[in-house]
Amino acid sequence: MSYGVGDSGWAPITKARGSRPPGRMGSGVHTNGPVPPRIRLMIYAQDGLGLGHMRRTTSIAAEFIKLQPDAVVLTVEDSPLGNFFRTSPNHDYVKLPSIKKVRPGDWRAVNLPLRFEDIRALREQLIRSVALNFRPDILLVDHMPHGAMGELRPALEALRRIVPQSRLVLGLRDIIDAPDVVRRRWQVEGAYEAIQRFYDLVLVYGSRDVFDLADQYRFPEGVARKVRYCGFLCTPALPRYAERIRAQYANGAKAGTKLVVAMAGGGADAYPMMRAVLDALPALQAKQRLALVMIVGPFMSSAERRDLQSRAAGLPAQVRITVSDPLSYIDAADLVIARAGYNTTMEILRSSTPALLIPRPGPSAEQRTRARLFRERGWVDALDPDDVSSDTLAEAIARGLRRDPPVRARCRPDLGGLSAAVEQLVSLLRTAGLEQRLAPTAE
């Protein structure tokens, strides 16, 4: 079943109540009776100018289908890059008009030159229509309890009223923003009330002993009871050709050459960090043979990218927009320099490569907080963005290449969040009385 907007708009909902048709979402023509209804997972993710939410939800969808091969997953998202990450069989997506947050509570359209009120109304109606036509067994909402600017609330209300058997789950990364900012915004926007009213379960993709999200954001008692900490969530993908990259940039160069990889996720605001890395390179070269690969991201402007390429001329540095297997670059490197975004940080932690994190300066305190907490545990080194200069950065890079840890790690991070989160979703289906539709391997 596919969805799209034609000349007459979305097809009307002709059957709002009652059971599903026997063969709906089946495998096509069949002769041995009706096809058993498939488990349906719908995911909502807002990621108008980044890759993190899409990366995380795509990983969850792939793991869910791996555990439940007959399930179908439909993601509703708004990245300007469309379906950027490779999806699994039985997984498709609906593209919403893209929006981005200018500041807390203030959003703008990315591409359509229309009033934001019109864009919001269009997105709101599309989400509600998809939810009621798809009729999910589980709706997994990424990050925003009521969606961007409350756009998800009509769909949540409709599912509770028309498809009451649907289970609603909120998925939150380890850190959202500074506690006072989240408490204030969620109170004003009604997020606490939305979690209490609509959701059956809240999954936190982090560790309680690192950042107690429910306590820091003062979840009411009724909301806190729904929270399950899953551990940190990594993509299920594995590096495929780290040795080839190592041979290309380090082993094939002069003896003792160290490979430094600088990464920036989507890269929309990565230019200052990448320029600082290039500015630090000459001082480092005087003491150490280096090869630098800069993966600047698809959202960096072409003008900024060309400037970096011009500055890199004559230096042992290569500027790439994206690479097919960033995990291999992490594994191949002697040091990774990156923002402190959730997904990139978790992929680095899964490797044994030393990391230097330079968090985004704002507008959210999320990355600064993560970098500080992880540095305190000895998992990474970190440099505050306000302290970045060619000298401080050169010193930090040299320290990382010597593999001098900032502090001795007291423990290893719990990186089992992906399987734990999917197991929570499957357990919720069991409690909803859907055992007969689950794959035997899930027992």
Q: Bin 344: left if φ > 0, else alpha if -120 < ψ < 50, else beta.
A: alpha
Q: How far apart are CA 94 and CA 78, in angstroms?
A: 8
Three-state DSSP class for residue 242: helix
Q: What is the mean pLDDT of the chain?
A: 86
CB within 8 A of 368, min separation 6: which ones?
340, 359, 360, 361, 384, 385
Domain 40-233+416-442 and domain 242-401 have a common topology: yes
Q: How far apart are CA 143 and CA 174, in angstroms?
A: 10
Residue 11 has pLDDT above 70, yes or no: no
Convert the pLDDT of each residue in 237-290 to its tens digit. 889 999 999 988 876 656 689 999 999 888 888 999 999 999 999 999 888 899
Residue 359 has pLDDT above 90, yes or no: yes
The residues that bridge with 229 in the sheet, in sequence order, are 204
Q: How far apart are CA 192 and CA 222, in angstroms?
A: 10
Token output for 345: 């940080």
- Whether the CB-CB separation of 60 and 85 falls below 8 Å is answered with no
Number of H-type helices and E-type strands within the chain: 15, 15
| pLDDT of amino acid 91 | 93
On whether the 40-233+416-442 domain is CATH 3.40.800.10, my answer is no
Residue 415 is which amino acid?
Answer: L
Domain boundaries, the chain: 40-233+416-442, 242-401
Q: Give the dihedral of Cα atoms 66, 199, 50, 365; nearest 10 deg.
A: -130
Cis preceding-peptide flag for 363 (omega within 30 of 0): yes
Convert the pLDDT of each residue in 181-198 to its tens digit. 999 999 998 999 999 999
The helix (H) or strand (E) run that includes residue 56 is helix 52-67
Q: Bin 290: left if φ > 0, else alpha if -120 < ψ < 50, else beta.
A: beta
The helix (H) or strand (E) run that includes residue 197 is helix 191-198
Q: Bin 267: left if φ > 0, else alpha if -120 < ψ < 50, else beta.
A: left
The residues that bridge with 381 in the sheet, in sequence order, are 356
Q: Is 67 exposed, middle or buried (0-12, 13-18, 19+ CB in 10 A)?
A: middle
The pLDDT confidence band at residue 146, using thresholds 50, 70 and 90, is very high
CATH number of the structural domain 242-401? 3.40.50.2000
Sign of the Cα pseudo-torsion (382, 384, 385, 389, in order)? negative
The helix (H) or strand (E) run that includes residue 304 is helix 302-312
Residue 25 has pLDDT above 60, yes or no: no
Mean pLDDT of the 131-142 span: 97
Residue 173 has pLDDT above 70, yes or no: yes
The pLDDT confidence band at residue 7, using thresholds 50, 70 and 90, is very low
The pLDDT confidence band at residue 174, using thresholds 50, 70 and 90, is very high
Residue among 395, 401, 360 at smallest CA distance from 273 = 360
Three-state DSSP class for residue 409: coil
- Whether the CB-CB separation of 98 and 38 falls below 8 Å is answered with no
Q: How far apart are CA 124 and CA 417, in angstroms?
A: 30
The pLDDT confidence band at residue 16, using thresholds 50, 70 and 90, is very low
Token output for 23: 């063969």
